[in-house]
Structure 1
Amino acid sequence: MNLVNKEKINKSLSAKIVDARVAQIFNSFDDVLVTSSFGTTSVVLLHIISRIQPDCPIYFIDTGYHFEETKAYKERLTWLLDLNVIDVHPNKAEHEMTKTNRLWDKDPDHCCEVNKVKPLESVKEQYNVWMSGLIGFQNQHRSTLEIIDEQDEMIKFYPLIEWNSGLVAEYIESHSLPQHPLKEQGYYSVGCTHCTVAGMGREGRWQESAKTECGLHS
């Protein structure tokens, strides 16, 4: 995808509502990878996909460190939206190493590499397009992303990227969708238990660290 085509596609998609953007990508490509963390904003894109491409596989990276509330929320949304969820797990030996060494304290980047980034590598090889529910207001890096981008020869598609927290809340309420159970406790972004505390936006992730992303989308 060259620069001219990228600008043309982004201009075209920016004029469409999110449902139309998602439908266009599914209609244009046979191999669309969809991932979800089942976090506090995930239900928006999951709900849209469940109506447009109901049989689409949704890949969930089970790091082994998720909150019980996240796992329960995943099960609830899977049933409610009739999702085709596929769990992806890290290498067992490498995961145990991160647990034994408390790697999230010593080297959180390596911990994320083992438990989140590497498990998806073999899955990504099967696809040319990757759709995810990143939203620009969540942090500075995400605010610079466009609807369509290209990274490592893979097209990245962020249909909700220019949304804000108000639009997310309005969508969830208007469609009577359940919130992540930790949202009521002040968690606006939810990752692994060792690296997440309550906080607005993503300020509760990797506190007292310059780290803002797990590495999947950066």
Structure 2
Amino acid sequence: MPLKELAERRNILHRKSDAQTVLRHVLSDVQIGKMALVSSFGAESVVLLHMVAQIDKTTPVIFLDTEMLFPETLTYQREVAALLGLTDVRIIGPNRDAVLTEDVDGLLHQADTDACCDLRKTRPLAEALAEFDGWITGRKQFQGGKRADLPLFEKEGRKIKVNPLNKWSAQDLQDYMAKHDLPRHPLVAQGYPSVGCMPCTTRVSDHEDQRAGRWRNSEKTECGIHFDATNTAKEGQAA
């Protein structure tokens, strides 16, 4: 079955399903195939990680260590993975030779943020996902931009991408974390409702959008892992 048709059929099938039902189906759907959860272990990531852990702790979880993350994120990643009992967390990073060739001084982000994200996120993730037929993300419609119309299932290249929390609100996330007594990312309390790489993430004031601190004072809103092969944002997307 063509992937676009498969995504459309799954959107119809799960139009009234909750996130847990979608995940259980996705992780055992032979038509979709082998899946991985891609997680930043960021401000809201623990919700989806907890859901997956309740279904299958052996689910592959891909964590991108760009080598520019906050130390708090690296500590949080280890603590959450251990707490939830996740047994297949794959920590990936940029290719060493590529870094030495393209960003030996670690300052590429100052000259070209897109090139830095491509080097440290997009290419490593594409390589890590090569063995999978699809992947699960934590993007939500309330995050705005092109995510406002984010579907539950979508075709991206030769893979299916699933967004189980696409219709969740910020309050839904907080309620879930409180109900299950899940640990918060330590930077959230310090004014970082969205946490990315250290050089490109700033604090956000109360009146701002939660992603306003990402690539502040630029038109950039996405790192690139949710872009197509032409580096153009896909309709209904933006991470």
- Residues of 1 paired with 2:49 and 2:7: CA distance? 25
Matched residue SS, 1:80: helix
- Residues of 1 paired with 2:175 and 2:82: CA distance? 22
Amino acid at match of 1:170: D
- Residues of 2 paired with 1:94 and 1:205: CA distance? 24
Deviation at residue 134 of structure 1 after TM alignment: 1.1
1:78 paired residue number: 81
Matched residue SS, 1:156: strand
1:106-145 equivalent positions in 2, closer than 5 A: 106-145=111-150
In structure 1, list runs of 5 or more residues that go unmatched: none
Amino acid at match of 1:42: S
- Residues of 2 paired with 1:91 and 1:214: CA distance? 17
Aligned match for 1:91, one of 81, 92, 95: 95
In structure 2, list runs of 5 or more residues that go unmatched: 228-239
Deviation at residue 5 of structure 1 after TM alignment: 4.7
Amino acid at match of 2:97: A
1:140-177, Cα deviation, whole Å (9 max, x unpaired): 12222100000112111000011110100000011000
- Residues of 1 paired with 2:41 and 2:127: CA distance? 21
- Residues of 2 paired with 1:31 and 1:9: CA distance? 16
2:216 paired residue number: 207
Deviation at residue 204 of structure 1 after TM alignment: 0.4
Matched residue SS, 1:87: strand
Amino acid at match of 1:16: S
Matched residue SS, 1:181: coil
Amino acid at match of 1:92: R
Matched residue SS, 2:142: helix
Amino acid at match of 2:24: A
Deviating runs (4+, > 4 A) in structure 1?
A: 2-5
* RMSD over aligned Cα atoms: 1.5
**Cα 1:106–1:74, aligned 2, differ >3 Å: closer, same or farther?**
same
Normalised by the size of structure 2, how large is the TM-score? 0.87
Normalised by the size of structure 1, how large is the TM-score? 0.95
1:40 paired residue number: 43
Q: Is the 8 A contact 2:7 2:160 kept in 1?
A: no
1:54-203 equivalent positions in 2, closer than 5 A: 54-83=57-86, 84-96=88-100, 97-98=102-103, 100=105, 102-199=107-204, 200-203=209-212
Matched residue SS, 2:195: coil
**Cα 1:202–1:99, aligned 2, differ >3 Å: closer, same or farther?**
farther
Matched residue SS, 1:216: coil
- Residues of 1 paired with 2:24 and 2:130: CA distance? 23
Q: Is the 8 A contact 2:60 2:89 kept in 1?
A: yes
Amino acid at match of 1:209: S
More helix by share: 1
Q: Is the 8 A contact 1:139 1:201 kept in 2?
A: no
Amino acid at match of 1:119: P
- Residues of 2 paired with 1:2 and 1:58: CA distance? 23
